[in-house]
Structure 1
Amino acid sequence: MSLSFYTVVIDARDLRAQARFWCEVLDWRIVFEADDEVVIGKNAAAEPGFCFVPVQEGKAVKNRLHIDLNPDDQAAEVERLIALGARRADVGQGPDVTWVVLEDPEGNEFCVLSPKRSLTG
C-alpha cells in the first residue's frame, strides 16, 4: 500500500499550549515546532501523531471527530486530566454511560473510557 495514516491535525488558538497539554496527557513529546505548526508524538519516528495548527476563531460546535483514551484506572485518569486543565463536558451522554467526556483547554471533546483489554495482547 502506498498510503499510510500520518497525523491528526487539530486547529488551535494557542498551538503551543495545546501541544503541551496533549504531551502531558499522552506522555508524548514535541517532535517538530514552527510558527505555523507544532507536531507531537511518542517519538520522532512514531506515527500517527497530532499536528496543531493556528486558527483565529474559537471552537463553536461539538467536535465531529474525537479522541478516546483507554486508561488502566478511569477515575484516577479523569482526576489527573482535570488537574492538567481538562474540564468535564456534557454532550448529551446521559448518566448511565461507561465513559467520561472531557474537554481540553480549548474545548475539544475527548472521552476517557472504562478500562478495556489491549487489542494486541
Structure 2
Amino acid sequence: MARILDIVVDCAHPAPLARFWAAALDGYAVAPYDEAELARLRALGYEGPEDDPTVLVESADGGPRLWFQKVPEPKRVKNRVHLDLRADAPGAELARLGGLGARVVEEHETLTVLCDPEGNEFCLMRS
C-alpha cells in the first residue's frame, strides 16, 4: 500500500508561500537549511533560501511534507486538489489565517473556502 509522502504545490514564490503554510498548519515548519544546501543554492546561482526554487515544509509528527516548487506559469483555474483544515475554534482560526494572508472566497454552511496568498484554494471546516 502507498502512503502520502509529499504534497507538491506549484507556485511563483516558494519561500513566502512555504512560510504561510508552515504558519497556517499546526506542527509544521520550513525545513532548515544546512551549509551543504546553502552551498548548493549558491552554486546554482541563487542567493539563498529566499530564492530557492523548491522549499520544503515538514511536519513534526511525520505527516505529509509540503513541497513548494517554482513554476513559470501563473495559476489560471480552480485547484483540482485542495486541503481541508479543521480547527477547534473555526472563527478564531479564520481570523488567524486572514492575518497570515489568506482570503475568504466563499462561505458555506459547514465550511469556508479560502485562498492562500497565491490563490490556491483550501477549506476550513466548521464541524
Normalised to the residue count of structure 2, the TM-score between the two structures is: 0.77
Contact 1:15/1:52 (<8 A) preserved = yes
More helix by share: 2
Distance 1:17 1:73 in 2: 26
Normalised to the residue count of structure 1, the TM-score between the two structures is: 0.81
Q: Secondary structure at the match of 1:77?
A: helix
Aligned length: 109
1:36 is matched with 53
Q: Percent identity, please.
A: 39
Distance 2:108 2:25 in 1: 27
Contact 1:32/1:38 (<8 A) preserved = no
**Alignment gaps of 5+ in structure 2:** 34-40, 42-51
Deviations 1:60-85 (A, max 9, x none): 10111100001101111001000110
- Provide the alpha-carbon RMSD of the alignment: 1.8
| Structure 2 residue 82 is matched with structure 1 residue 66 | yes
Q: Kindly name which structure, 1 or 2, has the bigger radius of gyration based on alpha carbons.
A: 2
Deviation >3 Å, runs of 4+: none
Distance 2:85 2:7 in 1: 15
| Structure 2 residue 99 is matched with structure 1 residue 80 | no
